């Protein structure tokens, strides 16, 4: 079931017949559609064997396939799925207790089901009450606006209408989107530091370049209050934005966003030499730097002239979070010593925002004393060597991405 969204002006959104027809993909073959439908039924049966009906409220498919825009990989043997299958398991009761009780078994279930599905199957334990009470975010908007109910009825989203207001998605959600996709660029940068690449590394780089290309335009639309669940609609809206001096990178953002949309809907293997990947990575990374500094300057009402300037700025970069909860998270993540540090009451993701800016965009960071100290302090690494910093970054990112 797909809701109709509204522009801030109140005009109804443009309808999409592919979404209304409840397909998993825009143009995948009948065989692929049938395979995905059967996979959903296998997933449902497995979930029902784990969680009693007295507790299980609903099973909802989100992500690209839930919105009818899942990736279709064209191969000689026919159409194949590509993106993850993201299932949301709505359970009655306390969501934290349910998460603790069901997370492990559902994770194991996803690993067991993934080979037959032909793509990664993942689960998130959720609650209708939590969704009703939560403020709108990019995640809650995408889930409420575009999904496929595998078990349950539309009542699961009753009382969640505020999540349909894309114009209410806060600026820090645009930052988070860009941060996560640029983290993918950082991991790609690490692979590109080697003398040669494996086939899997090449695929990882190509995939994360495309994700970053899409995120550039999506973040810009979020700032403008024009984000939309459909990637094709987002690109149309991006093309309709007026060129202004405030957005000198808009033309390039549009070009890269078009490539990102195409790859999302029709992922493919792109034969590339290492030098070609390095060139594409450098271009997208630089555009990401420009958009990042523009966005964060807008969010904090101050100008950041460089990635180093941003990373060394002492202001709280996640002011929307609770100081007391941040202290508890720092204690849990980094141990008692973190409580006595300067970042005890800062949200742990702030460490990654600072580190990303230096590791991805400042080529002199490891030679600059102030930048080295920043990296050492944020990532809690005794000796800020590249490999140690990247390992620490990935470890924290698992919890705060």
Residue 258 CB burial class (10 angstroms; 0-12, 13-18, ≥19): middle
pLDDT tens digits, residue range 237-274? 999 998 887 777 899 999 999 999 999 999 998 889 99
Residues spanned by CATH 1.20.120 within the chain? 170-303
Is residue 16 scored above 50 in pLDDT? no
What residue has token string 């969501």?
95
Report pLDDT for 13: 41
Superfamily for the 17-168 domain? Beta Polymerase, domain 2 (3.30.460.10)
What mean pLDDT do residues 43-70 have? 96
Task: Please say if the pLDDT value at position 151 is more than 90.
Answer: yes
- Whether the predicted pLDDT of 6 surpasses 70: no
SS3 315: coil
pTM (2 d.p.)? 0.91
Gap between the Cα atoms of 296 and 293, Å rounded? 5
**The two three-digit tokens of residue 394, written as one number:** 């990935």
Q: Which among 95, 87, 92 is positioned nearest to 57, based on CA atoms?
A: 92
Residue 340, pLDDT score = 84
| pLDDT at res. 216 | 98
| CATH classification for the domain delimited by 170-303, as one of 1.20.1070, 1.10.10, 3.40.50, 1.20.120 | 1.20.120
Whether residue 20 has pLDDT greater than 50: no
- The yes-or-no verdict on residue 14 having pLDDT over 50 is no
Residue range 359-383: average pLDDT? 95
82-112 confidence digits (pLDDT tens): 989 999 999 999 988 999 999 999 999 999 9
**pLDDT bracket for residue 7 (50, 70, 90):** very low
Q: How much is the mean pLDDT over the chain?
A: 92
**pLDDT digits 0-9 by tens, 121-144:** 999 999 999 999 999 999 999 999
In the chain, CATH 3.30.460.10 sits at: 17-168
Closest alpha carbon to 136 in 20, 222, 261? 222
- Per-residue three-class SS string for 179-242: HHHHHHHHHHHHHHCCCCCCHHHHHHHHHHHHHHHHHHHHHHHHHCCCCCCCHHHHHHHHHHCC
pLDDT at 383: 87
Which helix (H) or strand (E) segment holds residue 121: the answer is strand 121-126
Q: Is the dihedral of CA 179, 104, 94, 54 positive or negative?
A: positive
Using CA atoms, how far residue 270 sits from 201, 202, 204, 312, in Å, is 12, 9, 11, 38
């Amino acid at each position: 079931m797909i809701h109709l969204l509204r522009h801030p002006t109140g005009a109804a959104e443009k309808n999409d017949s592919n979404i209304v027809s409840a397909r998993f993909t825009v143009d995948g073959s009948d065989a692929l559609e049938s395979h995905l439908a059967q996979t959903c039924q296998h997933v449902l049966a497995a979930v029902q064997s784990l969680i009693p009906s007295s507790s299980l409220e609903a099973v909802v498919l989100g992500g690209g396939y839930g919105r009818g825009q899942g990736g279709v990989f064209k191969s000689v043997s026919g159409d194949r799925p590509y993106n993850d299958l993201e299932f949301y398991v709505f359970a009655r009761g306390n969501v934290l207790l349910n998460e603790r009780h069901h997370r492990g078994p559902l994770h194991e279930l996803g690993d067991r089901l993934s080979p037959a599905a032909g793509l990664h199957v993942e689960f998130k334990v959720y609650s209708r009450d939590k969704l009703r009470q939560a403020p709108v975010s990019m995640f809650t908007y995408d889930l409420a606006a575009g999904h496929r109910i595998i078990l349950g009825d539309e009542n699961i989203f009753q009382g969640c209408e505020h999540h349909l207001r894309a114009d209410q998605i806060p600026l820090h959600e645009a930052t988070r989107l860009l941060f996560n996709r640029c983290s993918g660029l950082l991991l790609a940068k690490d692979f590109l530091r080697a003398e040669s690449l494996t086939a899997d590394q090449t695929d990882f780089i190509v995939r994360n370049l495309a994700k970053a290309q899409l995120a550039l335009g999506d973040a810009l639309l979020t700032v403008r209050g024009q984000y939309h669940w459909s990637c094709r609609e987002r690109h149309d809206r991006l093309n309709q934005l007026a060129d202004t001096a405030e957005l000198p990178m808009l033309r390039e953002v549009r070009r890269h966003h078009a490539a990102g949309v195409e790859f999302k809907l029709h992922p493919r293997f792109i034969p590339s030499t290492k030098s070609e990947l390095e060139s594409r990575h450098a271009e997208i990374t630089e555009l990401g730097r420009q958009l990042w500094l523009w966005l964060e300057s807008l969010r904090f009402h101050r100008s950041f002239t460089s990635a180093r300037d941003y990373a060394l700025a002492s202001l709280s970069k996640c002011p929307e979070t609770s100081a007391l909860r941040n202290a508890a998270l720092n204690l849990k993540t980094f141990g008692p010593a973190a409580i006595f540090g300067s970042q005890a009451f800062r949200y742990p993701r702030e460490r990654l925002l600072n580190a990303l800016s230096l590791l991805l965009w400042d080529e002199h960071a490891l030679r600059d004393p102030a930048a080295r100290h920043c990296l050492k302090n944020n990532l809690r690494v005794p000796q800020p060597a590249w490999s140690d910093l990247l390992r620490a970054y990935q470890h924290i990112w698992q919890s705060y991405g």
